[in-house]
Amino acid sequence: MQGLTLKQLRSLQAVVETGSMTEAAARHLLSPPAIHSQIRKLEDIVNARLVDKDTDTQGFVATQSGKVLIAAAERIDGILSWARDNLNALESGSAGHVRMGFESTGRYFAPRLVAILKQRCPSITVSFEVGNRDRIIGLLETERIDLAMMGRPPRPPETEATPIGEHPYSLFVPLRHVLARRPDYDPETLLRQPILAREPGSGTRILLDRFLDQIEGYGTPNVIELDSNETIKEAIIAGLGVGMLSLHVVRRELAEGLLVALNWPRLPVMRYWYLVSPLAAQISESTQRIRQSILDENGTFLPVGAARS
């Protein structure tokens, strides 16, 4: 692909993101013919059509070949972002910059872990981002983060995943709920309650669906989807239903007596936190040092009762 330039790739990304040559041109302070020329040069280089008109919206969309080049452009952006962060770190006197990603529930210990890492490795700058599973996988795929803390290792991309500690989940109700007053196993009463849940595909929802599948035959669950663990937690406290959540999310509410965990068979559901990194040959010395420092902590930064035995 001799002659391919970042400018051409940026033009392709802009056209597909905006669906318009005119809007892509405005984004890059160019004329529409200039953007069109960049796309045509790129198509000539790879000998493939890269964009088509959508029959419904009449906007430009990527062909399969275009999607391949956009994915490559996103990875290049990730590598350049890594270079920028590390150059800035070197300029400020640090030995390097390590970027971490945490799945949503990791927000309850991410700041504590980063503070520990800053103490253990003061010469390395550590930054972090919290997002849902799809977001963190996307950041790994485009090399915008160096390490990730996840409940399930992704595939793809190909990574190395090491378990670092337990991550228990259970069903929760408010203190005066009928299921809190009658603690014996009672799936029929459970299925008469609204079941508050995250979106399909999320880790929490997968666990909830598996648990509900095990009590099939007692009724049809009335599942109400909410957008975050915090919303589910507040809805449970308000008496709007029963929800499955990580014990990390509700440890304060349990201590204050606002919530009760159901002590039923198959509860809590045990998952594990994994430290996920690219394969060893692909990571920098700074990333390797931070990775080893996390493993040396042996899960002590996780909420009480969740550290690895």
Which of these CATH numbers, 3.30.470.20, 3.30.360.10, 1.10.510.10, 3.40.190.10, describes 93-162+273-296? Answer: 3.40.190.10
28: DSSP letter: T
Q: What is the mean pLDDT of residues 25-42?
A: 91
Mean pLDDT (the chain, rounded):
90
Long-range residue pairs from 61-69, CB within 8 A, at least 24 positions apart, any chain: 61/16, 61/19, 62/12, 62/16, 66/12, 66/16, 69/9, 69/12, 69/42
Domain map (residue ranges) of the chain: 6-70, 93-162+273-296, 166-271
The per-residue pLDDT for 130 is 94
Q: What is the pTM for the complete model shown?
A: 0.73
> How many Cα atoms sit within 13 Å of 88 on the Cβ side?
11
Helices (H), 93-132: 110-120
The per-residue pLDDT for 280 is 61
93: DSSP letter: T
**How confident is the model over 108-153, as pLDDT tens digits?**
999 999 999 999 999 999 999 999 888 999 999 888 999 999 998 8
Three-class DSSP category at 159 = coil
pLDDT band at 303 (very low <50, low <70, confident <90, very high): confident
User: Do 6-70 and 93-162+273-296 have matching folds?
Assistant: no
166-271 in CATH: which number?
Answer: 3.40.190.10
- Domain 6-70 classified CATH 1.10.10.10? yes
Q: What is the mean pLDDT of residues 265-287?
A: 87
